[in-house]
Homo-oligomer: A and B are copies of this chain.
């Protein structure tokens, strides 16, 4: 449950801190406006940092939202096996850390002869609060 430490460049650190401070997934341009005061002025600077952070597995992209969250799973080294739950109402997003699930999916094989190296799973529903 604790943050990973990696050697990051200045812009990468700034972007990562912004994402970690947020309680919700952040979109790239929302990050950009947050970091303008720190001297990051243009989209490519943000997107490059995001790309690297995703590669390193310290953040993940929620594909269906075009948004980024920091990884809270210390076992999740390189964003190769990710699962999220997304509340349709309040947009709360939680990374699912369930070893049975990840084992099941990591070992999953279909009949097409394809070798899977990576997966991303997104569940949608209503969170505990919004269900009431």
Contact = CB atoms under 8 A, between A and B. Distances in A.
Interface of A: 63-64, 85, 87-88, 94, 96, 98, 101, 104-105, 108, 110, 112-128, 131
Contacts of A125: 114-118
Nearest to A94: B112
Nearest to A113: B128
B85 A112 contact: yes
Contacts of A96: 110
Contact of A126 (B88, B114, B120): B114
A44 B96 CA distance: 35
Contact of A119 (B104, B116, B122): B122
- Which A-B residue pairs are the 6 nearest by beta carbons? A63-B63, A113-B128, A116-B125, A118-B124, A116-B123, A121-B121
